[in-house]
Chains A and B, each alone.
Chain A
Amino acid sequence: MGVEGIGARALRKEDKRFITGKGKYTDDKVLPRMTYAAFVRSPHAHAKITNIDASAALEMPGVEAVLTGHELVADGIGNLICGWMVHSKDGSPMNMGAWRALESEIVRHTGQAVAVVIADTQELARDAADAVNVDYEELPAIVSASAALLDGAPQLHPEAPNNLIFDWEIGDEASTDAAFASASHVTRMEIENNRLVPNPMEPRAAVADYDVAEEHYTLYTTSQNPHVARLVLSAFYNVAPEHKLRVIAPDVGGGFGSKIFIYPEEIVALWASKRVGRPVKWVSDRTEAFLTDAHGRDHKTVAELALDANNKITGFRVKTVANLGAYMSLFSSSVPTYLYATLLSGQYDIPAIHANVKAVYTNTTPVDAYRGAGRPEATFVVERIIETAAREVGMSPVDFRRQNFVRSFPHQTPVIMCYDAGDHDATLDAALKAIDYDGFPARKSEAASRGKLRGMGLSCYIEACGIAPSAAVGSLGAGVGLWESAEVRVNPVGTIEVLTGSHSHGQGHETTFAQLVSERFGVGTETVAIVHGDTDKVQFGMGTYGSRSGAVGMSAIVKALDKVEAKAKRIAAHLMEASEGDIQIEGGVLKVAGTDKKLSFSEIALAAYTAHNLPEGMEPGLKEGAFYDPTNFTFPSGTYACEVEVDPDTGKTEIVNFVAADDFGKIINPMIVEGQVHGGLTQGIGQALLENAAYDENGQLLSASYMDYAMPRADDVPSYQLLTTETLCPGNPLGMKGCGEAGAIGSPPAVINAITDAINNNDLAMPATAERVWRASRGALPQAAE
């Protein structure tokens, strides 16, 4: 390994355990006397529970307990809550319905938990769960958000009349209306953003252990943010006070947002472990994951774009209905509002924007943040209507975009965001060159000679991540601050532990974060350990989501490293009788500039701990902590170019070339960044072509397993061409912007723009399944490009 600093393609430190089968995931945890939980779930989307009869189940072998919502409420366990307050445009607070971890009166989505069986083995628990008899009185269900708003629709929560959670707006309606009144062209589209299921490959799991002597709980769980989990479990769900609850998120097998939230199962596992006096393990199977992991997206939007006579955009009007499912998940309210509508300016200079968002309850699984969270929805609306407007006015999509790009920074949009840096022409140029945009007509003709319809689609995305300035999000309703913490502990022998509140569930923090230390002190990454995911080890942290671990998490580490460096230099200066300003750090050695005097980093560390000879008044030790609160969001941006071939006989789309040109600011480990983009692109292509959480009218999830939910496989996607350009983010010490979500944000419109170009029909919804493309392309005979 050795010294691997910023910019090095360092191989991952964490890989060895994963490739040898030695990863430590929650389901791998086995505790003495452990029991297993199996949930009894509603087969109905909307029903009144009239009776729960557990008598037969309680008689079955190995059964410790059958628990219901009645016991849960009696024990004072609190309702699940949404932690971000959004107000309607009339000033009223959002209408949040009650959500119990175990429901005992009315179930509101298929798969909702109504009871739990605790038994000696997983199979015995499931056997007994099958034997719990629940009587339901079915109620009419509603799955479409638009229909749920209509008079006479089934009502989910008494707190939310007409199923309306909030009716929110952003931007200036009057100036937007004025722009449309004087427009020379208006492009109008109805756009749907399909509902997705996140599907990290590791299903959620929890192992809860109550220590009766200490009155202390330990929870091992699949979390992206164990500290937030502890805070919520403690402050809102009343499971235990924070100092009596330790949350450990060990190796976590992917999250993509779905493991941010606290779910009923973790609450119940903790509570049940005290009730039965034994550890309780719950492991979701994939079907449960489909029914209970928070879903993503599910918007229906009407968008209108106003152009003046020169095809300059003058106004943008957006009306969106967001389906939040049966309950408000932890951050659900922020996704279709502050993470969505604030990005509706895209990469463009749009003087007037107005957006209205209605969030709605339906009898479906709750919806919350999924990779990109609001920004893919915004990007899809913006990049579909931009492409469509260009086609309508007969301009090249490239020229139309260029004509409207934001080119001076900082740029204040009409929807809160202030873009701090970027160069949209640079990523567009890079993408066009890499995909050989000019050679496309020849390739289209060649494809036509083979009977294939070839198309080209672009998407110029911008997103906001590095989430987020605490005061800013506080003013917008967030219940928590979104800073990050770090602690750098130099041991007496000179090895270094970095404790971080970020959490790695695939992102490679053990490597990238170590590279920061390696860069700073010139020590090998093998002497650095990254510690995360345990509330007993790391004081506090906000976790990993919103592409924040680089821009926010690493900035906190940089701040702590600054302090360690300053103290190490003071010690070195003192020991070598030099002035602090003359101390330089190089290759693990602290030198006095212009002399041959030097001490190794480990000698300084030892001196700090022996404390035999420290500067006057200095405390022993070499350990520093820092909290970093960003001053702005960061704004990664880029251009994605997608080239497809459609088989007109079957409608099957093949992506024959995909170029992603991204500006992520400073990149620490290009290999890891590329991996993030590959994965994001594939999820975005999955949304565009394959994935859809389909419900029938009774609220049954039709795509509740991999038999019916089409996950992208290796043969559905191409190898990608990735490029990066760099404008540094001025808001954080390293100039980083974040890269975790860009691929999923930018790719869906590129794919749909390409297919609609290929089939010469702009009316195509996601997922663009083979049948939809076949229907939309009927009559589109392969022809040479004009």
Chain B
Amino acid sequence: MYETNYHRASSVEEAGKLFTGSEDAKYLGGGQTLIPTMKQRLAAPVDLVDLGGIDDLKGIAEDSGALRIGAGTTHYDVATSDVVKRLIPGLAHLAACIGDPAVRHMGTMGGSIANNDPAADYPSALVALGATVTTSTRELSAEEFFTGMFETALEEDEIVIAVSFPVPEKSAYSKYPNPASRYAMAGVFVAKTKDGSVRVAATGAGQDGVFRIAAMEQALAETWSADAVAGISVDAGDLLSDIHGTAEYRANLVTVMAKRAVAAAG
């Protein structure tokens, strides 16, 4: 790791000031991606602004038909939260699938979505659940927020404050992990809203990160059953191909994971 200057912010405002006062800063959430990247000398911020000490960024609350999760909330806290398990069990399950126990103790929702790793789990939930991302300056829909592989709509100094998830009628996440990294080779989040509309979002497989699968959404809106998506394939031409799986295999996984997610949602 190259040398850096560490700052711990105690408020969002202070964090923003520290950031803009630096020639080259990065925000540090739980650090589970940024620290390894810095260790590999692939990132070398002059200043690191740690958001871990900002209490306002933490917490899970039910808020008029929605579930609001602070950006600094750890995966562990999401996975084990009674509120999350009651309102959106698929989201709790997803959080329990991220990394490993020690990573879940440190990693945060805000850090994960701000990085938008194409193999990360959370983006699929945000997109499928139609979540709203609140930042230090604005509100964005999930689909506005995620703009491509490792790309988001965030401005340099913008901080994710919280994510608000409308509570669905049912939802579930099914993931096929990469055997080495345990990131998603394909992860599919399915959600049926209380007004009956359906969203299906896949992560891990797409070249541009998370994507929705319209054909599955239509099929499931008509008939909510695993069989309804069994015959629907995504175009392998848009999928990732690497030593762990070809695009064709990932396309198969997307269909299989979708089936399993629907079955799990009940």
A709 within 8 Å of B (CB atoms): yes
**A690-B179, A702-B243, A706-B180 given; A650·B253 CB < 8 A:** yes
Contact A707 B245 (CB under 8 A): no
Max chain A Cβ within 10 angstroms of own Cβ: one of B41, B180, B244: B180
- Report whether B252 and A774 are in contact in the complex, using a CB–CB cutoff of 8 Å: yes
With contact pairs A703-B243, A708-B181, A711-B180 given, residues A127 and B252 touching in the complex (Cβ less than 8 Å): no
A775 to B252, CA, bound (A): 11
For residue A647, give the distance in angstroms from its CB to the closest CB of chain B.
9
The reply on B176 being an interface residue by CB < 8 A is yes
Q: Is the CB of A770 within 8 A of B252?
A: no
- B246 interface residue per 8 A CB criterion: yes
A96 within 8 A of B: no
Q: Mark A687-718, 1 if CB is under 8 A from B, else 0.
A: 00010101000000011001111110000100
Chain A's interface: helix, strand, loop or mixed, by majority? loop
Cα of A770 to Cα of B179 in the assembled complex, Å = 9
Closest residue to B230 on the A side, CB-wise? Answer: A649
Q: Which residues of B contact A287 (CB under 8 A)?
A: 40
Is A127 touching B2 in the complex (CB atoms < 8 A)?
Answer: yes
**B224 lies within 8 A of chain A by Cβ:** no
Interface core residue of B244, B245, B253 (most chain A CB under 10 Å): B244
**B-side contacts of A775, CB under 8 Å:** 249
**Residues of B with C-beta under 8 A to A650:** 176, 252-253, 256
**Closest chain B residue, CB of each to CB of A707:** B181
Measured CB to CB, the closest approach of chain A to B155, in angstroms, equals 29
Chain B contacts with A in 243-263, Cβ cutoff 8 A: 243-246, 249, 252-253, 256, 259
A470 within 8 A of B: no
Cβ-based interface call for B153 (8 A): no
Inter-chain CA distance A287–B36, complex, in Å, is: 13
A123-B1, A694-B243, A703-B243 known; A774+B249 contact, CB < 8 A = yes
Residues of the B chain whose Cβ atoms lie less than 8 Å from the Cβ of A709: 180
Alpha-carbon gap, A770 to B1, bound state (A): 35
**Which A residues are CB-close (under 8 A) to B249?**
770-771, 774-775
Q: How many A-B residue pairs have CB under 8 A?
A: 49
Which residue of chain A lies nearest to B186 when distances are taken between CB atoms in the complex? A650
Cα A751 to Cα B179 in complex, Å, equals 17
Is there an interface contact between B179 and A769, defined as CB atoms closer than 8 Å?
yes
Q: Are B180 and A710 in contact (CB under 8 A)?
A: yes
Q: Which of B1, B176, B243 has the most CB of A within 10 A?
A: B243
A771 and B246 contact, Cβ closer than 8 Å, known pairs A127-B2, A650-B256:
yes
In the docked arrangement, what's the CA distance between A771 and B181, Å?
16
Rounded to whole angstroms, the CA-CA distance of A287 and B1 in the bound complex is 14
Cβ-based interface call for A130 (8 A): yes
Residue of B nearest to A778 (CB): B252
**B180, A708: Cβ atoms under 8 Å?**
yes
Question: With A123-B1, A769-B179, A770-B179 in contact, do A708 and B252 touch (Cβ < 8 Å)?
Answer: no
**Do the beta carbons of B181 and A706 come within 8 Å of each other?**
yes
**Residues on A with beta carbons closer than 8 Å to the beta carbon of B179:** 690, 710, 716, 769-770
List the A side residues contacting B252 at CB < 8 Å: 649-650, 774
Measured CB to CB, the closest approach of chain B to A765, in angstroms, equals: 14
Among B179, B243, B244, B245, chain A packs the most CB atoms within 10 A around the CB of B179
Nearest B residue to A130 by beta-carbon distance?
B41
Residue of B nearest to A287 (CB): B40
Measured between C-beta atoms, what is the minimum distance from B129 to chain A in Å? 25
Bound together, the chains give a CA A126 to CA B41 distance in angstroms of 10
* Contact, CB under 8 Å: B243 / A708: yes
Closest CB-CB distance, B130 to chain A, in whole Å?
A: 29
The residues in A between 737 and 786 inclusive whose CB is less than 8 angstroms from any CB of B are 769-771, 774-775
Bound: A287/B42 CA distance, A: 14
* Residues of chain A with a CB closer than 8 A to B40's CB: 287
- Chain B contacts for A130, CB-based, 8 A: 41
Residues of A near B243 (CB, < 8 A) are 692, 694, 702-703, 708
**Residues in A neighbouring B245, C-beta threshold 8 A:** 769-771
Closest A residue to B259 by CB, please name it. A649
Contact flags B168-183 to A (C-beta < 8 A → 1, else 0): 0000000010011100
Q: Is the CB of B2 within 8 A of A703?
A: no
Nearest CB in chain B to that of A706: its residue: B180
Q: Are B180 and A649 in contact (CB under 8 A)?
A: no
CA distance A694 to B259 in the complex (A): 32
Kindly state the separation between the CA atoms of A695 and B259 in the bound complex, as whole angstroms. Answer: 35
Which of B209-266 touch A at CB < 8 Å? 243-246, 249, 252-253, 256, 259
Q: What residues of A have a CB within 8 angstroms of the CB of B246 in the complex?
A: 771
Q: With the chains together, A768 CA to B266 CA distance in Å?
A: 33
CA distance A213 to B243 in the complex (A): 54
**Distance A694 CA – B244 CA, assembled complex (angstroms):** 10
B47 to chain A, nearest CB (A): 18
Q: How far is the CA of A770 from the CA of B41 in the complex (A)?
A: 33
List the 5 closest pairs (A to B, CB-CB), nearest first: A710-B180, A710-B179, A771-B249, A707-B181, A649-B256
Q: Known pairs A708-B180, A771-B245. 16 more at Cβ < 8 A? A: A126-B41, A287-B40, A649-B252, A650-B176, A703-B243, A707-B180, A708-B244, A709-B180, A710-B179, A710-B180, A716-B179, A769-B244, A770-B179, A771-B244, A771-B246, A774-B249
A-B contact pairs, 25 of them (CB 8 A): A123-B3, A127-B2, A130-B41, A287-B40, A649-B252, A650-B176, A690-B179, A690-B180, A692-B243, A702-B243, A703-B243, A707-B181, A708-B180, A708-B181, A708-B243, A709-B180, A710-B179, A716-B179, A769-B244, A770-B179, A770-B245, A771-B246, A771-B249, A774-B249, A775-B249
